[in-house]
Amino acid sequence: MAEKITVSLIKADVGSIAGHSRPHPRMMEVASEALGRAVRDGLLVDYYVTRCGDDMQLLMTHRHGENNKEVHGLAWNAFMAAASEAKKMHLYAAGQDLLSDAFSGNVRGQGPGAAEMEFEERPTEPMLVLMADKCGPAAYSLPVAKIFMDPFTTTGLVIDPRAHQGYDIEIVDVVDHKKVLMSSPAELYDILALLGDTTRYAVKRVLHRTIGTSAVISTEKLNMLAGKYVGKDDPVMLVRCQSGFPAVGEVLQPFAFPQLVAGWMRGSHYGAWYPCGVDQSDPSYYDGPPRVCALGIQVSNGKLQGAEMPGSKPGDHKFIDYFAGKEWDYVRNKAMDISIYMRGHGPFMPGIVPPEDLEYTTRPEILKKLEPRMQPL
């Protein structure tokens, strides 16, 4: 049996420049140095450090499986080192997502988000790395529903004999901390009845019944930690593509619809999801609009293959930045139209998220203050 490889994408916002924009290059550098040492020490096979908006992304390959203590510890320490650089420079929100003083053995529930999958490499292993900023955990539900369940998006469901059987979808109830595995297309309408509620349900994993995991998202149960909900914002998704899984183009197609996602300014508004290149992911309009980036990578014997030149060093990859191209200007323009329209609502719903999902609120104090003046109707 071929050796299994694990791809771990662990992300955190540990500080940024002039508001919630982007990490300082020095922060990326210290994180890269930490992961580079781990390659030399044999813990990792390969790595790449990137970002989407203010979220730093550690893409790592290794042979230690999901939720490995050493790999999570490495990610935690890389974020700590980056946060310490951010603190030295007095950057904004330095250490924002490191919500615990001590590492507990796993980054889950401590602030960072993690999407990880262990698999036996196919003869060729094309993958997509999707990264979002300024949006909530259920943002990928609609695209996942289209990619894996909608034959009008993924023609492969109709014409590829390997995709024709459909997929199993693991759905998490992030509020009541439950999960359920459901089968598409047999339970399609039941699946959509859950996923349509983006305040409670989110996809964790998509499985092909014989080939294995196709997609995994950094979805976590919502936990109150340090007086704040964690495991929530700016999710990432890994997708294995082609040959029984959806083609790369089938995975990217749903992002041409700039769906409304919860997040944006103060994590409390609905904005249109804006696909862009990594270098264009600075939140430039009202701390947004919510962004999504897609990097195309190849994994071979655990190495990340990009378009780098001979002689380039580990970590120094050039991947396919799928949303960077001009084709996506059309979608970006539409997303801006919709986001400006949504801003027209100011602090009124549906411009803002429902009261229980607001990340900040003054309402309890206001109601308390008004209590003596409240009259029965």
Rg, the chain, Cα only: 21
Task: Find how far residue 180's CA is from the centre of its chain.
Answer: 21
User: How far from 351 is each of 80, 143, 354, 358, CA to CA, in Å?
Assistant: 35, 22, 9, 12
Residue 377 CB: number of other CB atoms within 10 A? 3
Residue 233 CB, shortest distance to ligand 13P, in Å, is 5
Which segment (16-24, 307-315, 320-328, 350-358) binds Mg ion by CB under 5 A? 16-24
By CB under 6 A, residue 287 contacts ligand 13P: yes
By CB under 6 A, residue 247 contacts ligand 13P: yes
By CB under 6 A, residue 13 contacts ligand 13P: yes
Catalytic residue chosen out of the listed positions 160, 179, 190, 229: 229
Residues 72/106, Cβ–Cβ less than 8 Å: yes
Exactly one of 54, 168, 187, 282 binds ligand 13P (CB under 6 A); which one?
A: 54
Residue 93 CB: number of other CB atoms within 10 A? 15
By CB under 6 A, residue 249 contacts ligand 13P: yes
Which residue lies nearer to ligand 13P by CB, 116 or 287? 287
Query: x/- site string to Mg ion, residues 79 to 98, per CB under 5 A?
Result: --------------x-----
3-state helix, strand, coil in the chain (%, to 5): 30, 30, 40
Exactly one of 10, 39, 54, 272 binds Mg ion (CB under 5 A); which one?
A: 54
By CB under 6 A, residue 20 contacts ligand 13P: yes
Exactly one of 116, 125, 133, 287 binds Mg ion (CB under 5 A); which one?
A: 133
Q: What is the DSSP letter of 268?
A: -
Residues 236/113, Cβ–Cβ less than 8 Å: yes
By CB under 5 A, residue 287 contacts Mg ion: no
Site for ligand 13P in 95-114 (CB under 6 A): 96
286 has catalytic annotation: no
Q: Which does 267 bind (CB under 5 to 8 A by kind): Mg ion, ligand 13P, none?
A: ligand 13P
Alpha helices in 65-171 (DSSP H): 69-88, 141-149, 156-159
How open is the CA angle 104-106-107, to the nearest 5 degrees?
A: 100
Binding site for Mg ion (CB under 5 A): 13, 20, 53-55, 93, 133, 234
Q: Which are the catalytic amino acids?
A: 13, 229, 232
